[in-house]
Structure 1
Amino acid sequence: MIDFEWYRSFVFIYRHNSVSEAAKSRFMTQPAMSQHLASLESEVGEPLFVRTARKMIPTERGKLLYSEVAPLVEALEQLSADIKTSSLPSLKWIKIGSAPEFYQEKILPLLLKFGTCSISHFGTADKLLDILEVDKVDLIITSKKFLKPGVEYEKLCEEEFAIVAPVHWEFPEAKTLKAQERWLTEQKWIAYGPELPIIRRLWRERFKKRPILSTPYVIPNLHMILRLVKLGAGLSVVPTYLLETAKEGYVQVVYQDLSVRNELFFAYKSKHKYIPEIQQIMKVIREHI
């Protein structure tokens, strides 16, 4: 008779491609995890993984079994989480993750409306997902959707990114894309990161190529970038919601037609989907953004 825990261990090994990493995730010893897999393979009658020095590679039988078993394991884990949640007192603390600039402009003014206590975490989309996976946060707002087991996404809104320059700068009308690119390439730029993450997105969407620019300043903070733009250091690309609270004459948008839009999502663990406090926070944020 197959033990349900063998299936759970199999699913974790499949997702992590590693017995040791799966054991850590399940708070088990590696020998116990290996025994679960060996017992399941014995019942199935054939190997479910090919063991290599670096990772466990699922066999065709392993892939088929995973497609059949994973949804059932997730459903039972969700049911267990729902039963546990309904039997516990209301959750008093919700851990929220976001980019710091979005949090400051959009989330911070709403904290009093959430009706619960909160702990805030800041970081890039990649880092936020990492801490969501290990339950260091309950809810994140992210611009990227990574397909991860047990993580769900709901669209929140769209944000617009525009090129900004010091208000006193003059720029040519440049009626063609080629003329616009020529002038923009001649300017100095302030980047959010060494790989020009925000600028690169606009450049590829509008000019269909990777930007080659002079970027003497790299600052991973959009508020500081705006301040440096105001001081005349160069151009940058920022979300337009930052301009809503900027003082008149602060900066100007250059070539509005080059602006791009980006989607933002809520992301949370499937097991937390029906926690009332998380649902309330998402409802409040949606109503005000």
Structure 2
Amino acid sequence: MINFEWYRTFIAIYQRGNLTKAAQELSISQPNASVHLASLEQYVGGKLFDRMPRKMVPTELGKKLYTQVVGSVESLASVETTFKRTALRHRPVIRLGSPLELFFSKISPQLEKISSPLNVSFGVAKDLMQQLDEGKLDLVIASQKTIDSRNIVYEPILTENFVIIGNKNIDLSDFNQHLENQDLNAVEKWLINQEWYAYSNDLAFIRRFWLKNFSKRPIISPKYIIPNLNVIIKSIANGSGISIVSDYLAQEFVDQGSITVIWNGTGDTANTLYLAYDKSRVSIEKVEEIKRLTQTIRSPHF
């Protein structure tokens, strides 16, 4: 039986008048298009086109064949497209849990990479992982391994580092002098005296950074408590104050020059983000689709 792709290639060459353009339209290589045409010419027993320097001109046999098959080929192509759209409409919904900030800054610009419907829930790792365990979510981007189960898989997708940021115009002359003198007490005092933004009253990110770099808990009374790191970063970019945020969230604003990284600390205050899922419940197709959204996320280097 004749290969339907030979006819598709023939129709594309006839309508485009060019082998290269036909191959591009069909998303195949030019050598493959040439093979299709040669196979069809051998099958019908004659040349279908005369090759010109920049154009392919149909022969009388080519014109006759085109007239006979174009309607049928286009009808089949239409049926194929209709079935494909129907299949896409019936693809199962992927239920994804994610931190709002990461989804907004890194994942939402890449949504066109997946074809399945996506239902997103925002929240903290503990709550999202509980929903995963209860079967209410298919996958979770988690900042912690809060559930230990043989069926729960945690695949690392990003290592975030926490950094202190401030407005681009902040005066760091005294602070930098303290760093140069390796006077951590003076460094801490300078930081405490700034206006602080915090994600929550428990100073979660700040506390972690302080324990890593000063080996004690912070004595800080934040002026602003805002449970959204993107809003905190934008507020600092448009005003003043300082905060501790994930480096991947600050990257865009640092690149724009609207904020500055004040200090990375004496060593990295790092945390790993995972793509978590229950391997006994979720299909490999759903996992692979979400991986297409996360595979381009990279840690910046400040």
TM-score by length of 1: 0.64
What is the alpha-carbon distance in structure 1 between the residues aligned to residue 296 and residue 235 of structure 2?
33
Matches within 5 A, 1:258-269: 258=266, 259-269=268-278
Corresponding residue for residue 255 of structure 1: 263
Q: By how many angstroms is 1:129 displaced?
A: 1.0
Q: By how many angstroms is 1:288 displaced?
A: 4.8
What is the alpha-carbon distance in structure 2 between the residues aligned to residue 100 and residue 231 of structure 1?
21
Residue 155 in 1 paired to residue 156 in 2?
yes
Q: By how many angstroms is 1:283 displaced?
A: 4.5
Q: By how many angstroms is 1:197 displaced?
A: 0.8
Matches within 5 A, 1:224-243: 224-243=231-250
Matches within 5 A, 1:112-191: 112-149=112-149, 150-171=151-172, 172=174, 173=176, 174-175=178-179, 176=182, 177-191=184-198
Q: By how many angstroms is 1:231 displaced?
A: 4.0
Alpha-carbon contact 1:142-1:265 (below 8 Å) kept: yes
Corresponding residue for residue 106 of structure 1: 106
Corresponding residue for residue 60 of structure 1: none
Q: By how many angstroms is 1:227 displaced?
A: 2.4
Corresponding residue for residue 213 of structure 1: 220
Corresponding residue for residue 92 of structure 1: 92
Corresponding residue for residue 288 of structure 2: 279
What is the alpha-carbon distance in structure 1 between the residues aligned to residue 295 and residue 282 of structure 2?
16
Alpha-carbon contact 1:139-1:268 (below 8 Å) kept: yes
Cα offsets for 1:158-179 (capped at 9, x unmatched): 1122101122111221122222
Residue type at the aligned position of 1:183: W
Q: By how many angstroms is 1:226 displaced?
A: 1.3
Alpha-carbon contact 1:91-1:277 (below 8 Å) kept: no
Alpha-carbon RMSD: 2.1
Residue type at the aligned position of 2:237: K
What is the alpha-carbon distance in structure 2 between the residues aligned to residue 134 and residue 263 of structure 1?
23
Structure 1 gaps of 5+ residues are: 1-89
Alpha-carbon contact 1:101-1:221 (below 8 Å) kept: yes
Q: By how many angstroms is 1:95 displaced?
A: 0.6
What is the alpha-carbon distance in structure 2 between the residues aligned to residue 183 and residue 271 of structure 1?
52
Alpha-carbon contact 2:161-2:246 (below 8 Å) kept: yes
Corresponding residue for residue 193 of structure 1: 200
Q: By how many angstroms is 1:238 displaced?
A: 1.2
Q: By how many angstroms is 1:205 displaced?
A: 0.9
Q: By how many angstroms is 1:274 displaced?
A: 4.3
Corresponding residue for residue 63 of structure 2: none
Matches within 5 A, 1:17-96: 91-96=91-96
What is the alpha-carbon distance in structure 1 between the residues aligned to residue 131 and residue 231 of structure 2?
26
What is the alpha-carbon distance in structure 1 between the residues aligned to residue 144 and residue 199 of structure 2?
17
What is the SS of the residue equivalent to 1:198?
Answer: helix
Residue type at the aligned position of 1:138: D
What is the alpha-carbon distance in structure 1 between the residues aligned to residue 93 and residue 282 of structure 2?
15
Corresponding residue for residue 59 of structure 1: none
Corresponding residue for residue 21 of structure 1: none
Q: Which has the larger radius of gyration?
A: 2
What is the alpha-carbon distance in structure 1 between the residues aligned to residue 270 and residue 169 of structure 2?
26
Residue type at the aligned position of 1:230: A
Give the percent of matched residue pairs that are identical in Structure 1 and Structure 2.
Answer: 32
Alpha-carbon contact 1:132-1:268 (below 8 Å) kept: yes
Alpha-carbon contact 2:170-2:240 (below 8 Å) kept: no
Alpha-carbon contact 2:165-2:243 (below 8 Å) kept: yes
What is the alpha-carbon distance in structure 2 between the residues aligned to residue 237 and residue 122 of structure 1?
21
Corresponding residue for residue 36 of structure 1: none
What is the alpha-carbon distance in structure 2 between the residues aligned to residue 91 and residue 207 of structure 1?
51
Residue type at the aligned position of 1:212: I
Alpha-carbon contact 2:138-2:282 (below 8 Å) kept: no
